[in-house]
């Protein structure tokens, strides 16, 4: 996967997608609320987006949908939203970790089949998608996309032919798919949410008057004025309909020995104003910063964060150390996915298009710079150099995660080991490469502590010990032609 070609190339990580679903039992149109929900989840994916809605009081199975490349506010105009009439719907924002970045791969996926219509939005990554796709292809399936979400949709549709309900079909499909997924599925009369048995990806339930919401993060509930009810539990399927409100089923899903929530939701992906599985993302990042200050202190004049995800951890470091917290960078917030990257010979300037150092804030000072991660190291090199060019006397880098040593197969865009700066290098080597005066990472043992001590997290990209057997070869981007 060629991450260097991505729009926001000064950030090192991407995560596959945000999902949102809504069902208004009073019959009101939901497209506009889904739009605002997706805007609040925009940080989870900027490549493409889409909305699919249906009118439960109209012709059964008729779905109106629209999806396109770009940001939510680029893709959807008031005129487009006006055409999306329906009281039940799902929405999606996408960042691809498998499958190319094309309009065909945008979600939600809408399937018309014998039993009616399904619309599906998926956050995560399957590790057995190639085998399932091969199996389906040899039984007559014709694929319209290169994403593993279509594999899930096909399996749900096939299982529905032999089951009494769509939620039972979802449960049957969950027995076949392996990996990370949070799903929001719209059938003609039901809204369904499902989370993989390990709980890799978040999914929450909310309510606004007589309207129910499913979303990747609680910040999306806040945006549409919905009250948080609870998280969808790992391995749980929730069905929302006027007949019974919210109905839960965990009876058909395989229960793993332990849960494995993606720790990077707390370090980087989720918005700091979200709460995931009872843990405040803001509090987790403050804790990470405090642990860095305890474990890797350094004498300095100011603590700064690399926007945006480094800011809260930097505040935590400052609170613990007593060193003043300050702002060293100005971020250009108006660079969207249409940003044209400089040519190869001017590649270094691409970081400065997104960030610029505040010379008056850092000149002559010893700076502690906090960032969420170092992947390849090229970005850290440029940001350290930016501070030095602005007159910083010393630059000490602290990272609110451990070193990346292994790839991720579950939806986080961590590349192959050979591309990771920490592979076959120690901390001193990395420090010299990025040009910092000192470098320290968050300790592995601190990860559990930052999320309360008993949550159950995945640390595979740091340790190489995955919660399930990874594929024998790196199949990420397998269909990315």
Hey, is 228 helix, strand or coil? strand
Q: Are 188 and 61 in contact (CB under 8 A)?
A: yes
Residues 150, 108: Cα–Cα separation, whole Å? 10
Q: Are 173 and 183 in contact (CB under 8 A)?
A: no
- Integer CA distances (angstroms), 228 to 222, 231, 271, in order: 8, 8, 16
Residues 436, 388: Cα–Cα separation, whole Å? 9
Q: Are 175 and 196 in contact (CB under 8 A)?
A: no
Separation of CA 18 from chain center: 6
Closest CA to 316 of 345, 355, 347, 281: 281
Taking only Cα atoms into account, the Rg of the chain, rounded to an integer number of angstroms, comes to: 22
The tokens for 148 are 């593993």
Catalytic option among 17, 49, 262, 431: 17
Closest CA to 205 of 38, 21, 49: 21
Q: Report the Cα–Cα distance between both ends of the chain, in Å, rounded.
A: 10
Which residues of 209-333 form beta strands (DSSP E)?
Answer: 211-215, 227-231, 237-241, 245-249, 261-262, 275-276, 279-280, 302-305, 329-331
211 is catalytic: no
Buried b (16+ CB within 10 A) or exposed e, 234-260: bbbbbbbbbeeeeeebeeebeebeebb
The tokens for 363 are 């000149």
Closest CA to 398 of 443, 377, 368: 368
Helix axes 378-389, 427-434, angle to 10 degrees: 50
Burial label, 162 (beta-carbon count in 10 A; 0-12, 13-18, 19+): exposed
Separation of CA 232 from chain center: 16
Q: Are 281 and 371 in contact (CB under 8 A)?
A: no
Active-site residue list: 17
């Amino acid at each position: 996967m060629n991450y260097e070609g991505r729009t926001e190339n000064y950030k090192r990580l991407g995560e596959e997608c945000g999902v949102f679903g809504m069902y208004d039992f009073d019959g009101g149109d939901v497209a506009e609320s889904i739009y605002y929900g997706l805007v609040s989840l925009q940080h989870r994916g900027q490549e493409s987006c889409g909305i699919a809605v249906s009118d439960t009081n109209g012709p059964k199975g008729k779905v109106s949908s629209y999806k396109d490349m770009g940001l939510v506010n680029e893709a959807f105009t008031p005129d487009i939203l006006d055409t999306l009439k329906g009281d039940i719907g799902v929405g999606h924002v996408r960042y691809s970790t498998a499958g190319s970045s094309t309009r065909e791969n945008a979600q939600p996926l809408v399937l018309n089949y014998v039993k009616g219509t399904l619309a599906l939005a998926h956050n995560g990554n399957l590790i057995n998608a190639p085998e399932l796709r091969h199996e389906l292809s040899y039984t007559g399936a014709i694929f319209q996309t290169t994403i593993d979400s279509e594999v899930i949709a096909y399996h749900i549709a096939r299982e529905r032919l032999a089951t009494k309900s769509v939620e039972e079909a979802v449960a049957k499909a969950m027995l076949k798919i392996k990996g990370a997924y949070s799903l929001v599925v719209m059938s003609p009369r039901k809204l369904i949410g499902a989370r993989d048995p390990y709980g890799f990806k978040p999914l929450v339930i909310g309510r606004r008057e007589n309207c129910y919401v499913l979303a990747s993060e609680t910040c999306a509930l806040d945006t549409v004025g919905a009250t948080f009810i609870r998280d969808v539990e790992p391995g749980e399927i929730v069905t929302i309909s006027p007949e019974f409100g919210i109905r839960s089923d965990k009876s058909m899903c395989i229960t793993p020995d332990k849960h494995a929530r993606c720790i990077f939701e707390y370090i980087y992906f989720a918005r700091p104003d979200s709460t995931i599985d009872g843990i405040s993302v803001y509090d987790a990042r403050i804790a990470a910063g405090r642990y860095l200050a305890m474990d890797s202190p350094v004498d300095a004049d100011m603590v700064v964060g690399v926007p945006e995800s480094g800011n809260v951890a930097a505040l935590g470091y400052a609170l613990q150390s007593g060193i003043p917290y300050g702002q060293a960078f100005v971020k250009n917030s108006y660079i969207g996915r249409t940003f044209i990257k400089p040519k190869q010979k001017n590649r270094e300037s691409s970081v400065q298009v997104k960030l610029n150092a505040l010379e008056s804030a850092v000149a002559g000072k010893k700076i502690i710079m906090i960032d969420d991660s170092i992947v390849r190291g090229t970005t850290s090199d440029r940001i350290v150099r930016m501070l030095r060019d602005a007159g910083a006397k010393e630059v000490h880098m602290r990272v609110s995660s451990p070193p990346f040593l292994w790839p991720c197969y579950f939806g986080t865009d961590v590349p192959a080991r050979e591309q990771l700066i920490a592979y076959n290098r120690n901390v001193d080597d990395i420090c010299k490469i990025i040009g910092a005066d000192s470098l320290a990472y968050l300790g592995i043992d601190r990860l559990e502590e930052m999320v309360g001590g008993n949550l159950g997290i995945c640390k595979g990209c740091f340790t190489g010990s995955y919660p399930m057997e990874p594929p024998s070869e790196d199949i990420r981007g397998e269909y990315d032609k």
